[in-house]
Structure 1
């Protein structure tokens, strides 16, 4: 099993597929896990904002997280998202995920606790209830999270040693990452980037442990991180530049972009989403198709929906 101190690389956040009736599609979710494993990811994150976690019930989160962990079967580490405004719910989700094999627990800073002292009380309650857990503090900007200043995160991490990693998504993420790495306690062993991977080159230059992007270009993120580990900065920039058109669209359309790309690649049969937000229209999709064509040599061969069969 991967040790808590060695989490690094590409940990994409799985989306939650919904069928035509709007219900979670576990078979499709398992198919996406298999795609990520084939793409060579270092680990998997589920659920998170990219998973429409705010639109899932606690029961759905429990069953879908269990399905992901079962499908992964220990082949890569899984960071389970257990965020909730209520500590009791976070603890319920955390205990289930740890029991089923999650290596880490991603916990977003609750937006209704704007001070470091309030966050410390919350994270201490979670850490005390699951003493074996490795916590990943997710610093999400308002209104989803509290968007803490890096100095406040350092204060929280010093008070709660179970916080071993931070996922920094409040901008500018690179500058914040530098503060966290320079001022964070020794117990905080790494900082991950997020925000769809749109700032990954800056984050890697500043010593990021890895990235937790959406999954639609997972194999390209894997290739980029491989180049980073090899010290090939020119290839890192080249791969990032080739991804940028898709990442720009993803910044606006979020779940709609991810699910359209996965559908276009034969990995999903439904683009349904529960989260509110803009949807791609026909002209948007034509643009995305062209951008995908430009990336074709970097992508795994498309497979029909047999990936979703079990």
Structure 2
């Protein structure tokens, strides 16, 4: 389908259900797509952090995109991560995700290599020149160890190298600078600014963001759609109440024992446990070498779901 400019609304970063053998669970992924579409979301983002893209083989990544595009069947735009260390490797990903039918690609700055801002700009320009679909920048310094400077993002947007930004930087001032620039600078009317936060969607929308890419929307898509619509209607008191309910639900990401697992294992494990408990996916396992949740930790996830009215 045609890619909307600007892209607005709720865009869940779709989890990747796995079998006990750590292969892509196609049937569960199809159910998850339907769960999200039926929840009223505006687009889907596959092969990002919540998709465990860093853990998937290229074969598995391709299968994920093909499955989601097929199941969506043109109902919503599908954004696909083309995330890798350097420009040539990213371009390989761009080729197969667009062949599979992705409507846009999502790209981080280069990583592992030490990269100058001029090289980051060149990275995005080269990808934009060779991508048949729009390119959205993904600012996630916790993973790639490089912050995308707001002025660079706006410069690339003005040159039509970028169609949008998914901001997972945690830098509210920098995020505000991009939102303000997108609103006030000539020629940027179609540029989309999306927050990657679960916890401050109402604040981001109040600042002028176009939408949100919250991992927790896998678990409660209706909640985030409701929050988005309340914000757009200007009902800020109701929006605040819904945001606070979702903030309480987000507490599930802390169920894992930090003495034996990292935050990624805990949060992704919690999302998948919640989807399993809600009957959406068949198996809650995460990709290796992430540490699985214990039975007690999974039971704790269920308590968060019950408190949020989801069980």
TM-score (norm 2): 0.87
Aligned-partner SS, 2:50: helix
Q: CA deviation at 1:278?
A: 5.4
- 1:290 corresponds in structure 2 to 303
Instruction: Please give the alpha-carbon distance, in whole angstroms, between the structure 1 residues aligned to 2:287 and 2:306.
Output: 28
Q: Any conservation in 2 of the 1:4–1:134 contact (CA below 8 Å)?
A: no
- 2:206 corresponds in structure 1 to 205
Q: Provide closer, same or farther for how the CA distance between residues 119 and 113 of structure 1 changes in structure 2, counting only shifts above 3 A.
A: farther
- 2:239 corresponds in structure 1 to 236
Q: CA deviation at 1:282?
A: 4.0
Aligned-partner SS, 1:50: coil
Residue 162 (1) aligns with residue 164 (2): no
- 1:223 corresponds in structure 2 to 226
- 2:281 corresponds in structure 1 to 268
Q: Provide closer, same or farther for how the CA distance between residues 288 and 245 of structure 1 changes in structure 2, counting only shifts above 3 A.
A: farther
Q: Provide closer, same or farther for how the CA distance between residues 277 and 249 of structure 1 changes in structure 2, counting only shifts above 3 A.
A: farther
Aligned-partner SS, 1:136: strand
- 2:65 corresponds in structure 1 to 65
Q: CA deviation at 1:156?
A: 4.2
Q: CA deviation at 1:283?
A: 4.1
Residue 248 (1) aligns with residue 257 (2): no
Instruction: Please give the alpha-carbon distance, in whole angstroms, between the structure 1 residues aligned to 2:32 and 2:145.
Output: 27
Instruction: Please give the alpha-carbon distance, in whole angstroms, between the structure 2 residues aligned to 1:55 and 1:278.
Output: 13
Instruction: Please give the alpha-carbon distance, in whole angstroms, between the structure 1 residues aligned to 2:181 and 2:288.
Output: 36
- 2:16 corresponds in structure 1 to 16
Q: CA deviation at 1:52?
A: 0.7
TM-score (norm 1): 0.87
Give aligned pairs, total: 294
Q: CA deviation at 1:218?
A: 1.3
Instruction: Note the 1:78-89 alignment, pairs <5 A.
Output: 78-89=78-89
Q: Provide closer, same or farther for how the CA distance between residues 250 and 6 of structure 1 changes in structure 2, counting only shifts above 3 A.
A: same
Instruction: Please give the alpha-carbon distance, in whole angstroms, between the structure 2 residues aligned to 1:3 and 1:63.
Output: 22
1:157-187 deviations in Å (ceiling 9; x for gaps): 44x5230100111112x32221012335634
Aligned-partner SS, 2:163: strand
